[in-house]
Amino acid sequence: MTEELLVVKNLKKYYPITGGILGGEVGVVKAVDDVSFTVKRGETLGLVGESGCGKSTTGRSLLRLIEPTAGEVLFDGVNVTALSADEMRKMRRHMQIVFQDPFASLNPRHNIEKILEEPLIVHGIGTSAERKRKVQEMLEVVGLSSYHARRYPHQFSGGQRQRIGIARALMLNPKLIVADEPVSALDVSIQSQVLNLMQDLQRDLGLTYLFIAHDLSVVRHISDRVGVMYLGRIVELTTSTQLYSNPLHPYTKALLSAVPTPDPDAVRERVILQGDVPSPANPPSGCTFHTRCPHATEECRAVRPAFQDVGDGHFVACHLYKP
């Protein structure tokens, strides 16, 4: 047993842009461009970034729900990108996903019992009676009641549906759960309930999370380590405490300064970024952040910075920091 449960190496997902009379390829959108990171057993790795930076695509392509263009994903020592479709299907037992939209991720025509039982049926686990009992147990585990089993998704609130989504992911006792913005569709009061549930489950079941979010305070609350993504790349990756107390990358600094604080009198240094996120179809040369970076130099415009350790496992992709 290695310490790392998940090792992602140079993961890429490019979408072709077709155009012209013959529908030929005229370019690519680099949704995920050379992303590498590891997730240790039992930890929570947060992945933050603004909309369209490739966080969800990263999460989905490492589960091969979207086929990655290139790169390696080692899960528990197995290269999942090299598995055949049928081997991958069996592998999915161990790696599950919780989706963002609890209204779209449950089949409206199935009742809760059917939704939760389905993973067990698919993998041929247990007899019908055992499966039904497991469903009842799991409903209690995620804070619902066993009498909810016969209801349909539209009879639940958003928070309850998200609990069902989590229950479905847990039915197969997975090792890894990719949580794709699991709370961003929920009210703040419900968010904390679901986050606490996820933390309790992690402690009780020894789960490993890849937690994707755009809300920095949520990520801070739940993550052991955090990766910050910008335009399909990870620009900074370090422990949660390090990142929030000592952010290095200029983008992370700007992002953190935008987090609202409850104290209205607090003196804050606000870094306002100029301009918009460039198109991932035509990313800037060198460091993709140089168009908006207050510290950009000639080197930033020409050379893409390496993603390297600047000490204590604090990884950053920026020319300002040389190890």
Partner 1 sequence: MAETQVQTVSLRAKEEEVVSPWREAWRALRKNKLAMAGLAIILFFVTVAVLAPVIAPYPYDQGELVMKNKPPSEEHWFGTDYNGRDVFSRVVYGARISLWVGTFSVIGSVVAGTILGLLAGFYGRWVDTIISRVFDIMLAFPSILLAIAIVAILGPSLQNALLAIAIINIPNFGRLVRSRVLSLKEEEFVMAARAIGMKDSRILMQHILPNSLAPIIVTGTMGIATAIIEAAALGFLGLGAQPPEPEWGKMLSDSRQYIQKAPWTVIFPGLSIMLTVLGFNLIGDGLRDALDPRMKN
Which residues would be at the binding site for partner 1 (CB under 8 A)?
60, 63, 65, 89-93, 96-97, 99-101, 104-111, 118-119, 122-123, 147, 150-152, 154-155, 165, 168, 171-172
Phi, psi of 258 (to 5 degrees): -90, -5
**Closest approach of partner 1 to the CB of residue 195, in Å:** 20
Shortest distance in whole angstroms from residue 116 CB to partner 1: 10
- CB nearer to partner 1: pick between 89 and 295: 89
Cβ 155 to partner 1 shortest distance, Å: 8
Output 60 or 292, the one with its CB closest to partner 1.
Answer: 60
Nearer to partner 1, 53 or 97 (CB): 97
**208-213 and 4-19 beta bridge pairing:** unpaired
Q: Residue 173 CB, nearest distance to partner 1 (Å)?
A: 12
The closest of 33, 75, 71, 39 to 55, measured between CA atoms, is 33
Between residues 132 and 151, which has the closer beta carbon with respect to partner 1? 151
Task: Give the residue with the Cβ less far from partner 1, 184 or 192.
Answer: 184
CA 219 to chain centre: 10
Burial of 263 (0-12, 13-18, 19+ CB in 10 A): exposed
**Cβ 25 to partner 1 shortest distance, Å:** 16
Measured from the CB atom, is 125 or 271 closer to partner 1? 125
Give the C-alpha separation, 33 to 232, whole Å: 5
Rounded Cα gap, residues 185 and 191, in angstroms:
9
Residue closer to partner 1 by CB (options 62, 255) is 62
Instruction: Give dist(CA 213, CA 219) in Å, integer.
Output: 7
- Closest distance between partner 1 and the C-beta of residue 130, in Å? 18
Q: Write down the least CB distance from residue 147 to partner 1, Å.
A: 6
Rounded least distance, CB 110 to partner 1, Å: 8
Closest CA relative to residue 211, chosen from 47, 68, 22:
47
In this complex, which beta carbon is closest to partner 1, that of residue 172 or of residue 197?
Answer: 172
Alpha carbon distance 14, 236 (integer Å)? 22
* 3-state DSSP assignment of residue 112: helix
Q: Quick one: tokens of 137?
A: 């147990």
String of DSSP letters for 17-43? EEETTTTEEEEEEEEEEEEEEEEETT-
By beta-carbon proximity to partner 1, the closer residue of 118 and 224 is: 118
CB of 92 to partner 1, least distance (A): 4
Residue type, 3: E
Sheet containing strand 176-180, strands side by side: 95-98, 176-180, 208-213, 44-48, 225-230, 233-239, 315-316, 308-309
Helix, coil or strand: residue 105:
coil
